[in-house]
Structure 1
Amino acid sequence: MTPTSLEVGESPVLNLVLTLILTPILANAFYFKGIKYSTIASGIYLVFISLLMLYFHFNIQNEYFFVSNITLYFILMVSSIYLLSSIFSMSYLKVEEMRISERLYFLLLNFFASSMLFSLVINNLGLMWVGIEATTISTVLLVSAEKSEVALEASWRYLILVSAGVTFAFISVILFYYYYHTLTISTLLTEKYNGGLVLKFASAIGLIGFGTKVGVFPVNTWLPDAHSEAPPPISAMFSGVLLPVALYVLHIIYQISPLPTLYSWFAVISIVVSSLIMASQTNIKRLFAYSTIENMNLALLGITYGSLFGVIILLISHAFGKAGAFYSSGLILTSVGSKRIDNYGLWRLRFTPYSLILSSLAVTGAPPFGTFIGEFLILSTVLHYSIFQFIIVLISLAIAFISINFHVSRMVFKGERALMDENKVMGFVSLISSIISLGIGVYIIWWVL
């Protein structure tokens, strides 16, 4: 069967898009009984539907929804990591005590997934902003879910800083409406860009506003705190899919009003700063959080210079690789009771050493992982436009590669600490997520050859 593109206005297709948004919310109907199982069932259904939409190239454009080929990959990312995090959470909540109940945890997790999917498919820049803001509301309690004062402080910093950033994003949305008198994305993308001052200002403000969620320097200070203190499955969703969803919005804004010099240099500076900070990290989750900043800004650089194929490969591979990294950090926490980077001798465990090494190689762009291919395509494009930026980014990526893999090697191969047994479900999810990132790269290489 040859995949086909389903066009505007076909009600079955529109109903399918509606189910993407509503399915996680419907899972909350089982709040008082079996919500964790309904959440997993919701994830399985969303993965199936997203694969179906991707196979048939469901392109939708009407007054309510805007789904392009690029959108489909983001939908698949959100659905997949949502499913994996749901399965991981079911076991993680049994071994770690939370500040909130299990029912409330899964309730918020479902709203989190639904708000991200809403942001991806809605055909209105203003409502897209609403969806991004909804992700903040639904995740504040999740960030502080673990019982520690540091987690509570991180959640407040997350709320204040991200809310401030989203306020700037709202100003950007207002300026776009002022100029075009519409916020319909499909209409905005067809308007001819004339380089007007209002449009440039709107795009610059949008970079700061939505860039707060993406992790653009200097408005990314909330990210290491929130990622390091949130439960590992929530950190996986933050790094794996929330930041790419915000990046998708920034991609839309850049298409409406491109500012290549501004966007590219913000991305380059963010990559440099995050890479330098990685070497001195002592917390494994903070280390991976700074790695996320590096990867997201490399994707932003790819968007700036038009390497969209490289960006998609990088983001999908990173989503699974980074999710695997945070799942591995959860396994480490349950095995040694600490997030600190130290000599533990993790090689004696059944799942953790393999998932941790594979995921670390994935997020640092080691061949033949999919992230390597994505980075190669993006850097090839950057080289065409700016040799100076290419050299800076290449050096920064090398520093990040050495820093992360050095820290991980210490944790795996050095030390003789006493270790507790791993949870098999958590270990399996962590390993599978890491292997998927490797499989993406192997498949692309096989497909090209």
Structure 2
Amino acid sequence: MDLETISLVLIPIIANVFFFRGIKYSSIIAGILEIILSLTLFINLPIISSYFYITRITWYFIIMVSSIYLLSVVFSHNYLKGEKTKISEREYFALLNFFASSMFFTLIINNLGLMWVGIEATTASTVILVITEGTETAIEAGWRYIIIVSAGVTFAFISVILVYYGLHSLQVSSILGTHYSLVLQLASAIALLGFGTKVGVFPVNTWLPDAHSESPAPVSALFSGVLLPVALYVLYIVYQISPLPMLYSAFSIVSIIIASISMASQTNFKRLFAYSTIENMNLALLGFVTGSIIGAIILLVAHAFGKAGAFYSSGSIFRMVGSKKIDEYGLWKLKFIPYSLLLSSLAVTGTPPFGTFVGEFLILSALLKFSIAEFALLIPFIAIAFISINSHISRMIFKGDKNLKEDNLMGIISLISSLISLAIGLFLIWWL
């Protein structure tokens, strides 16, 4: 079982053995194997040893990472064709594989300190991916990303040190449980600032719209769909050790409010979806804080596929029009992109019957019991986010009359991803 578990980390690295020839094909095989391995892990849960800590909650994050990893690798094949990039295709896929391996490592390891190492490794493996397109804006976004995130991860490291000081251990399976010492409360507060940088918690989320909007579409999908949830998973581990519900909920709500206001005035469709990610991650954090664990998990899983579909669609549009500006493109004439873009936009705004709607409903129900004032404050801004995204996207799809030609493979991947989010919602509504 230990070999099967460690294979999650090793398979993407082994794919890089084919660096000089066929790495993009070995990456696809790695993605398929990760899906198979993730599904077989479910049979043996929980897996708790001195090295590994995988519960049912962890498994949902693993299946998210493996799924979006495979979709992004396949999407990247045609996305990179004919593009002038700062790095070679081989380097791109090698970094993508290290990125996936780092996330798997963070999720399965039974040590909070090594989880921090995994989060730091994702930064090292993605900073070059952010500047793949080589524009001045992308390079500036890369610098902001590495400076802000590195500062945040430093605070996260301090929180890890304080956890060790307070409990004399970093083994997750042995330290989980509620503790109320001042040291651990301080650790939890600093973790909100540190790991919260990667999650997208205000005020340390300013890197996110820049990096997500300037990265290649498949990388943006991995960022928004799974990297932020992986960081949220680690933050939730710290939160369980020393809960600070009022502090966490306050920062979550402020983050959602600012993201919602920012969406209304956006003129860049990739930045629009980046702010939507901030909203959804903080809603999921609210779910963990208010005790709606199932709601948070449902939201994260459905959002992963919906947001990946949104960024895949955005990447296809950027390839067709050469711009990221929200404009009247007349996308309705195309075969796949208008449907994938519309469905993914509805998904990330929590529209019924998408899975995100079920997750948000459960979270908001728990929030209503937790704090009526916070619930009342939040509802108008969720409505603003919904109206902003869907009005911008409707304009792109239904207005205009431009002659555009889409890539079928990229369009199909985008549509599949957004349909999975819809399928999750339909299944849950039927099952519940």
Question: What range is the shorter-chain TM-score in?
Answer: over 0.9
Task: Give the counterpart of 1:332 among 305, 308, 317.
Answer: 317
Q: Distance in 2 between matches of 1:251 and 1:186?
A: 14
Aligned counterpart, 2:410: 426
Counterparts of 1:41-440 in structure 2 under 5 Å? 41-54=29-42, 56-190=43-177, 192-193=178-179, 195-419=180-404, 421-440=405-424
Shift of 1:397: 0.8
Distance 2:185 2:410 in 1: 47
| Contact persistence 1:144–1:151 (CA under 8 A) | yes
Separation (CA, whole Å) in 2 of partners of 1:43 and 1:301: 31
State the Cα distance separating 1:95 from its structure 2 match. 3.7
Deviations 1:401-429 (A, max 9, x none): 0000000000000112232x111111110
Given residue 435 of structure 1, which amino acid in structure 2 is its aligned partner?
L
Letter in 2 for 1:338: S
With the length of structure 1 as denominator, give the TM-score of the two structures: 0.95
Match of 1:10 in 2: none
1:33 matched residue in structure 2: 21
SS of 1:94's equivalent in the other structure is: coil
Cα shift readout 1:226-264 (whole Å, capped 9, x = no counterpart): 000000000000000000000000110000010000000
CA offset digits 1:371-412 (Å, max 9, x no partner): 000000000000011011111221111000000000000000
Range moving further from structure 2, 40-49 or 288-297: 40-49
Rounded Cα–Cα distance in structure 2 between residues aligned with 1:311 and 1:31: 38
Amino acid at match of 1:150: T
Query: What stretches of structure 2 of length at least 5 have no aligned partner?
Result: none
TM-superposed deviation, 1:435: 0.3
**Amino acid of the structure 1 residue aligned with 2:422:** L
Q: Deviations over 1:271-311 (max 9, x none)?
A: 01100110000000000000000000000000001100001
* SS of structure 2 residue aligned to 1:97: coil
* Distance in structure 1 (CA, Å) of the matches to 2:148 and 2:227: 16
How much does 1:57 deviate? 4.7
Q: Which amino acid aligns with 1:443?
A: F
**Unmatched runs of 5 consecutive residues or more in structure 1:** 1-12
CA apart distance, 1:52:
1.8
**CA displacement, residues 73-93 of structure 1 (integer Å, 9 cap, x when unaligned):** 000000000000000001101
For 1:96 and 1:170, the matched residues in 2 are separated by 38
Looking at structure 1, the residues matched to 62 and 53 of structure 2 have their Cα atoms a distance apart, in angstroms, of 12
Q: Write out per-residue CA displacement over residues 176-232 of structure 1, whole angstroms, 9 at most, x where no aligned residue.
A: 111111111111114x51x22111110000000000000000000000000000000
Aligned residues: 432
State the Cα distance separating 1:363 from its structure 2 match.
0.1
Q: In 1, Cα distance between the equivalents of 2:159 and 2:265?
A: 36
Q: Which residue of 1 aligns with 2:11?
A: 23
Q: 1:441 aligns with which of 408, 425, 431?
A: 425
Distance, in Å, in 1 between the alignment partners of 2:130 and 2:285 is 25
- State the Cα distance separating 1:445 from its structure 2 match: 1.1
Q: Secondary structure at the match of 2:38?
A: helix
Partners of 1:60 and 1:432 lie apart in 2 by 31
The two structures have a TM-score, normalised by structure 2, of: 0.99
Aligned to 1:9: none
Partner of 2:284, secondary structure, is helix
CA distance in 1, matches of 2:298, 2:157: 30
Indicate conservation of the 8 Å contact 1:336/1:418, yes or no: no
Aligned residue number for residue 6 of structure 1: none
Instruction: Give 1:173 shift.
Output: 0.4
SS in 1 for 2:80: helix
Distance 1:80 1:96 in 2: 25
